[in-house]
Structure 1
Amino acid sequence: MAERYSSFAPGGTAWLLQRITAAFLVVVLAFHFFQLHFVNHAAEVTFAGTQARMENVGYFVTMVLFLITATFHGVNGVYNALVNQGLKGTQKKVMLAVLVIAGLALVVQGIYVAIAMAGWT
């Protein structure tokens, strides 16, 4: 039988954060789905409605945390998948740098949009 390999060290920080972010994302994604498909049906979601929701500090903070958590979870998952596929040495360092820069750019842009949607610019 093939031996199982994972770049996550069981009990390590990256391993733990991947699980914590997954649990958080399940809860917030359920909230997000409920909010935008049951409370506000997709056809009723408008720019003005989004602005109104983002003006609520609790909703704003939840969505920003959703963005940060999803970005970390995705970047960390992609990086570890690449490491599991055999990425090593310089390629591993370059890919980590590219993913971190892309993740930070996504978070900065997302927070900027959230702030603009909340009318705080």
Structure 2
Amino acid sequence: MAERYSSFRSGSTAWLLQRITAAFLVVVLAFHFFNLHFVTHAADIEFAGSQARMQNVGYFVTMVLFLVTATFHGVNGIYNALVNQGIEGNAKRAAQVVLGVAGLLLVVQGIRVAIALAGF
């Protein structure tokens, strides 16, 4: 029988955060799809409507949390996939730095857009 290998140690912080962010993303994605694909149909979505939604503090906070959570989940998942494939040494450190910087830039730019949309 094939051995199961994972860079996640069961019970570690990274392992726990990956599962928590996955659960959060399932709930927020369901909210997103329901709100923006069933309540408001895609053809009816306009910039002004996006601005109006972002001016609601609850919606704004939810979308910023969605951004941060999705970024962490994705970056952490990519990094651990690379580790599972055997990346080591300098290449592993380079992956940490590149993914960390890319994730940080994505979050900063996403928050800047959210603030601009909300008119703060």
Alignment partners' CA distance in 2, 1:9 and 1:3: 15
Alignment gaps of 5+ in structure 2:
none
Tell whether 2:22 aligns with 1:22: yes
Counterpart in the other structure of 1:109: 109
Please report how far the alpha carbon of residue 38 of structure 1 lies from its aligned counterpart in structure 2 after TM superposition.
1.0
SS at 2:11 equivalent: coil
TM-score by length of 1: 0.98
In 1, distance between residues paired with 2:36 and 2:61? Answer: 17
What value does the CA root-mean-square deviation take over the aligned residues?
A: 0.4
**Partner amino acid for 2:71?**
T
Q: How far apart, in 2, do the equivalents of 1:88 and 1:10 lie?
A: 21
**Deviation string, structure 1 residues 81-120 (Cα, Å, up to 9, x no partner):** 0000000011000100000000000000000000000011
Deviation at 1:43, TM superposition (A): 0.3
TM-fit CA distance, 1:39: 1.1
TM-score w.r.t. structure 2 length? 0.99
Aligned residues: 120
Distance 1:112 1:41 in 2: 26
SS at match of 1:33: helix
1:42 aligns with 2:39: no
Structure 1 segments of 4+ aligned residues over 2 angstroms from their partners: none
